[in-house]
Structure 1
């Protein structure tokens, strides 16, 4: 008999393996010696050990999922249990059984990972739905459709949830997209209707502008063009294919009229240039009257200058404000001098000033008499009090006399 740590070969060539349950025959090798028989069945064990080691690496390394790992362990365990091989078969089974705890841990981690992914997907889809509902409630017709398409792509990239939750969120998302699309179509239909109305208004405005292009009634026609421009802006946009053409007609008529008006004004300004030279000479004479030293002479001179000013006629438009302003300044200065003279000679004011002087003089005389009586009585305190009052009234009297003198 030939023995081995995990098995033996008896006299008739039968090979046995030792396990925790006792010995078990695994076969025979009649073609060779007992040593060769043991080597043959030991090699079978080595193949099983290699398979177990490979399974351990795949399971502990997370190469396969928990379900696939469990199936692989069961398959290899089936090969090891009752295997016709010589070796530590119980040890291999123990190693395979130990992988059960690893797989259980992986399965729990997988469940937690899946739950987390589901929660993140639910939160992501709820965020998408809220964004879609906000877009549907707004009026961003230009960018809203693109934003909803982007949200749809984000939705597709997220995993499905449990059916009731997923269906409820999709119903809200789809409803928001439908509501936005419907409102957007209604908006653009309304815009198209308004543009058609604007086309009719602008065609009428362009026609009227063209009818006024040859007018030489510069003032009223300029005002009418301003009104037409206001109405044009208020009309809003016409359909894009006609709006630019209508604007060219309208603006062309405007340019024709205002170009003719500007040319006429330039010709008129050249004609009025000589009048400006005359008025500059008049202004030099008028400005020499200020400051006013002889009011009556200044008033006579101004009346003559005003007549000559009117006879000189119109001046270029760009000089009107300057020249008129200078002449009005002289008129204002002479009127101011006249008002000042009247203020000084006002009889009512003069009488009031004279009455004030008389009252102050009487009051001062009475106080001086009281002061003499106080001195005679030796009342020094009263003398001082009256002296302070006299000083104040004398100052008032001096001011009143100067005011009265201004009216004399």
Structure 2
């Protein structure tokens, strides 16, 4: 018979292992000596020790699932419980029990970790849904569209929740994206319609602008071009592929007209500058008649000068009042001389002077009213013409009043 601390072999070749519950039969051995029998079953024990050690390491260092770990533990426990090895089997059972506890602890840890990840994923998806629903109301079409696409990519990278929760959140998320797409589509459809309407309007404006480009009615046509430009701006933009071409045609038609007008105006300005020079010479000739010493001669000379004056065309607007004022001064002086002569030679001068004064005063008052009305209507050209007429009437009125004073009135 042979024995060691954990087992023995009796005289019949039966091998026993010692446990806390007493000796257990390991097996029988007839092929060799009892020492060889114990050594054989001790090696089987060592094999179990190695397998349990490897399993402990896998549980601690790998992602071995709890299910697979429990299966492996059960397999090893069956081998230990079968008592086919000689060694401290109770110690192996204790290690397996501890390993079960470790696996359960890791199972719980992973469960909590999964719960935490699920909560985080739920929170992340709820945040994505909230942002998507806010973006669904945005009018920043490009930026919001790009952000929604980025949110989809983020969603795909998140873990799935339970089916019910995941489906509910995805439904809200998808609905927000659809609502945004629908609004964006409606917006651009409306924009396309507006641009098409703008294209039609601008084509009409271009056709009119091109028809006017050869006009020589400078004032009315220039005014109409200003109106067309205002209508162009109010029409909005046409489609990109039409806008530039329409604008080039529209601008080109205006350029043709205004270039022609500038050419004509340049010739007119040169002509008016020459007219001014001629009228200044006539004004200087008229001023040499002053002071009036020979009324008849002065009247005839002034009539000749005035006929030549009237034959000359327009002068530059900014010089008109100045040069015409010089002629009016001479004309008033002749009128004053005539009034004086008339009063001296006509015994009925006072009566006629009084009647004339009343007529002139009424005419002056009427002209002032017409000037004020013209200014109010923005018709400065008419107002300027009336002012020049007023100067002459006022001068006559002044002379008439002076004549009345000379008559003692």
Bucket of the pairwise TM-score, normalised by the shorter protein? 0.5 to 0.7
CA distance change for structure 1 residues 5 and 276 in 2, over 3 Å: closer, same or farther? farther
SS where residue 132 of structure 2 aligns? helix
8 Å contact 1:132–1:176 — kept in the other structure?
yes
The count of residues paired between Structure 1 and Structure 2 equals 294
8 Å contact 1:213–1:254 — kept in the other structure?
yes
Residue 212 of structure 1 is matched in structure 2 by 212
What pairs up with 1:53-72 in 2 under 5 angstroms? Answer: 53-72=53-72
What pairs up with 1:186-201 in 2 under 5 angstroms? Answer: 186-201=186-201
Residue 246 (str. 1) matches residue 265 (str. 2): no
Residue 11 of structure 2 is matched in structure 1 by 11
Residue 261 of structure 2 is matched in structure 1 by 261
RMSD: 3.1
SS where residue 143 of structure 1 aligns? helix
8 Å contact 1:278–1:312 — kept in the other structure?
no
TM-score by length of 2: 0.64
Question: Which 5+ residue runs of structure 2 have no aligned equivalent?
Answer: 281-305, 307-311, 323-409
Alpha-carbon distance in 2 for matches of 1:260, 1:96: 108
Alpha-carbon distance in 2 for matches of 1:80, 1:276: 132
Alpha-carbon distance in 1 for matches of 2:179, 2:276: 72
CA distance change for structure 1 residues 217 and 17 in 2, over 3 Å: closer, same or farther? same
SS where residue 24 of structure 2 aligns? strand
8 Å contact 2:141–2:184 — kept in the other structure?
yes
Residue 38 of structure 1 is matched in structure 2 by 38
Alpha-carbon distance in 2 for matches of 1:94, 1:9: 26
Alpha-carbon distance in 1 for matches of 2:75, 2:253: 95
Alpha-carbon distance in 1 for matches of 2:252, 2:80: 100
Displacement of 1:314 in angstroms is 4.5
Residue 391 of structure 1 is matched in structure 2 by none
Displacement of 1:201 in angstroms is 0.4
SS where residue 137 of structure 1 aligns? coil
Displacement of 1:101 in angstroms is 2.4
Alpha-carbon distance in 1 for matches of 2:21, 2:275: 138
What pairs up with 1:337-352 in 2 under 5 angstroms? Answer: none
Q: Which moved more, 1:198-207 or 1:33-42?
A: 33-42
TM-score by length of 1: 0.64
CA distance change for structure 1 residues 36 and 276 in 2, over 3 Å: closer, same or farther? farther
SS where residue 84 of structure 1 aligns? coil
Q: Which moved more, 1:21-30 or 1:34-43?
A: 21-30
What pairs up with 1:75-90 in 2 under 5 angstroms? Answer: 75-90=75-90
Alpha-carbon distance in 2 for matches of 1:279, 1:164: 100
Alpha-carbon distance in 2 for matches of 1:254, 1:110: 80
Displacement of 1:118 in angstroms is 1.2
Residue 174 (str. 1) matches residue 174 (str. 2): yes
Displacement of 1:165 in angstroms is 2.4
What pairs up with 1:66-145 in 2 under 5 angstroms? Answer: 66-145=66-145
Question: Which 5+ residue runs of structure 1 have no aligned equivalent?
Answer: 281-306, 328-408
Alpha-carbon distance in 2 for matches of 1:231, 1:112: 70
Q: Which moved more, 1:239-248 or 1:190-199?
A: 239-248
Residue 289 of structure 1 is matched in structure 2 by none
Displacement of 1:145 in angstroms is 3.0
